[in-house]
């Protein structure tokens, strides 16, 4: 078996269940952004020397696989569990508020690049924002999205910014 099936050579790809879709479709743009975001998180995790941060990022990566499965499944065949729940959004919101309470974390804006790991986290944050924008575009075409996806992505990019600052504060101590 080979990953090079050559079935995509004509500009179409298969979704879960076999439905073919043009690679220019907005749904595939969203899936591509999701893939880039996951890769950026992997880079950040690989560069992070903080075990706790690495585990947090890996947990997010695992959640992104669930989101990708839902996005790659045509709505007419979707019968899988919801990837993002209201509880997921609430937990992330609570983490944002917890991090915001860290003394000194909101003193200054940050220019990416002070540390390799935080530069990678900031890169992942911008990939998350791009994924959010393309998801909005997809929804605007009438394509259904999970109701909690956009709030989750919005909160996740906030969380990533704060995680970058939190790591920088820990290193400065």
pLDDT, tens digit, 9 for 90 and up, residues 35-69: 999 999 999 999 999 999 999 999 999 999 999 99
User: What local confidence, expressed as pLDDT, does residue 35 receive?
Assistant: 97
Asked if pLDDT for residue 79 goes beyond 80, the answer is no
What is the pLDDT averaged over residues 145-155? 96
Domain that holds residue 94: 25-172
pLDDT exceeds 80 at position 73: yes
40 domain residue, yes or no: yes
Q: Which residue has the tokens 């986290």?
A: 121
**pLDDT tens sequence across 96-124:** 999 999 988 877 777 788 899 999 999 99
Residue 87 lies in a domain: yes
Whichever domain contains 54, its CATH number is 1.20.1200.10
Does residue 71 lie in a domain region? yes
Rounded CA-CA distance 100/106 in Å is: 7
Is 119 domain-assigned? yes
Percent of the chain at pLDDT exceeding 70: 93
Render pLDDT for 139-149 as a digit per residue (tens, 0 to 9): 999 988 899 99
Q: Is residue 19 part of a domain?
A: no
In sign, the C-alpha dihedral spanning 51, 57, 59, 62 is negative
Of the chain, the percentage scoring pLDDT greater than 90 comes to 65
Tell me, yes or no, whether 81 lies in a domain. Answer: yes
Structural domain includes residue 158: yes
Weakest-pLDDT range from 23-32, 77-86, 123-132: 77-86
Residue 92 inside a domain? The answer is: yes
Q: In the prediction, which pLDDT does 18 show?
A: 79
Residue 13: predicted pLDDT: 80
Distance CA 96, CA 79 (A): 32
The candidate with the shortest Cα–Cα distance to 160, out of 67, 32, 41, is 41
pLDDT of residue 2: 72
pLDDT at residue 75, as a whole number:
65
| Residue 7: partners with Cβ closer than 8 Å, 6 or more residues away | 13, 14
- Number of structural domains in the chain: 1
């Amino acid at each position: 078996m080979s990953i090079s099936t050559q079935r995509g050579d004509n500009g179409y790809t298969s979704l879960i269940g076999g439905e073919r879709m043009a690679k220019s479709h907005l749904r595939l743009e969203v899936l591509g952004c999701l893939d880039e975001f996951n890769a950026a998180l992997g880079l950040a995790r690989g560069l992070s020397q903080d075990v706790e941060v690495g585990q947090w990022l890996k947990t997010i990566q695992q959640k992104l696989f669930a989101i990708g499965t839902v996005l790659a499944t045509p709505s007419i065949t979707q019968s899988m569990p919801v990837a993002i729940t209201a509880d997921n959004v609430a937990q992330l919101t609570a983490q944002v508020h917890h991090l915001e309470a860290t003394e000194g974390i909101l003193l200054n804006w940050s220019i990416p690049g002070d540390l390799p790991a935080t530069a990678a986290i900031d890169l992942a944050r911008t990939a998350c924002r791009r994924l959010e924008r393309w998801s909005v575009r997809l929804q605007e075409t009438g394509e259904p999205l999970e109701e909690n996806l956009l709030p989750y992505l919005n909160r996740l990019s906030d969380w990533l910014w704060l995680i970058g600052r939190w790591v920088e504060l820990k290193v400065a101590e």
